[in-house]
Amino acid sequence: MPYAEVNDTRLHIRQAGTGPVALFIHGFPLDSTMWIEQLAYLSDIRRCIAPDLRGFGRSAPVTGAPLTMEQHAEDCAAVLDLVSAEKADIIGLSMGGYAAMAFADMFPDRVRSLALIDTRAGADSDEAKAGRDAMAVRVIDEGRSAIAVAMESGLLGPDASISARARVRSMVEGCLYETIVGALGGMRDRADRSEVLRRVTVPAAVVVGEMDEVTPPEEAAAMADALPDASLTVIPGSGHLSPIESPAAVNEALRSLIDRTEATPDAVQG
Ligand code: MLT
C-alpha cells in the first residue's frame, strides 16, 4: 500500500514491520522520510505507518487552501481504517504533534499511546501568526530555496551532522510551495489544545531537544505536566528535529513508551 486514496486525495504511505499499528506524523515542511530510523528500530514490535501528509512528500499536490490540523487528523484516521486498526500509537513531531493532538481531540478512543516530540499544545501568538504570513509571502516571492537555508539552521541544533543537514534541506527544497503556504495557514489558525492533553489518560511521552528553539523544553515540560500519565525526555545537544539529530535517543524513548503501554490492560487491541 505505498499509495492510498484517502478523503479525496492520494497519500503516499511508508510502512515497516508487523504487529499493533504505530502511526508517525511528520513535521513541516518535511515528509515521512524523517522517521526512517524510528521505522527501522520499532519494526520488530509495531506495524509502523508513516504517511506523507496531504500535499507533502510523494502525496498528491494540493492547492493553496489552509491545510488544517483537523484535516490531517481525519486523513490519519482514514489511514488507520485502511489497515483495519481501531487504535494506534500516535507519534507526532512539531506540526505532526499539532495534528496528533487534533487526532487525540477528535478520536480519543483510537489513541493507544501518544508521543509528542518537539512540539507545543498552545496556539500561535499574534506575532507567530504574522511570522507565518511573512514566510508565506517570502516563499511566493523568492521561492523555496530562500527558506531552506534559514530553516536548516533554525530547526537543527549547532552540532547536527552534515547528513542531518542535507536531509533537512532536501526535504524543505522538495516541498511544493502550495503545500508550504497551505501548511503555514493551517498552523497559524490551529486551536489551542492544552486542555485536550488533560483528557489523554493513555500512556504518553513528551520528547524535546535541549537546544530546540522552535518549541523549547519549557513547552515540553508544560505538556508533560498537563498529560496525566507522561514521561518527559530532554535530549542533550539536539535541536528541533530530534528524531533526525538524535535517532537513538528518540528510539529509546519510543520503545520505553511502548513497553509502558504494553503493561496497560487491553492496550494492544486493534
Ligand atoms: C515543524 O517543525 O513542524 C514546524 O517548525 C512547526 C511550526 O512552525 O510551528
CB atoms within 10 A of CB 153: 13
CA-26 nearest atom, ligand 1: 3
CA distance 94 to 184: 13
CA-96 nearest atom, ligand 1: 3
pLDDT band of residue 269 (cuts 50, 70, 90) is low
Which of 163-177, 180-194, 253-267 is predicted most confidently?
A: 180-194
CA distance 191 to 69: 9
User: Distance between alpha carbon 113 and the CA centroid of its chain, in Å?
Assistant: 14
Q: Does residue 270 carry a pLDDT above 60?
A: no
At the fourth CATH level, the homologous superfamily of domain 3-262 is Alpha/Beta hydrolase fold, catalytic domain (3.40.50.1820)
**Pocket-testing residue among 30, 187, 190, ligand 1, by greatest number of atoms within 8 A of Cβ:** 187
CB of residue 27 inside a 6 A radius of ligand 1 = yes
Backbone dihedral angles phi then psi of residue 222, each to the nearest 5 degrees: -65, -40
Residue nearest to atom 5 of ligand 1 (CA): 28
Rounded to an integer, the average pLDDT of 27-43 is: 98
The strand ranges marked E within the chain are 3-6, 9-16, 21-25, 47-51, 88-93, 111-117, 204-209, 230-235
pLDDT band of residue 147 (cuts 50, 70, 90) is confident
pLDDT value, residue 235: 98
pTM value? 0.97
Residues 6+ apart with CB under 8 A from 233: 205, 206, 207, 208, 249, 253
The SS3 call for residue 134 is helix
CB of residue 247 inside a 6 A radius of ligand 1 = no
Q: Which residues pair with 6 in a beta bridge?
A: 9
CB atoms within 10 A of CB 113: 25
- C-alpha torsion angle, residues 256, 260, 261, 265 (rounded to 10): 160
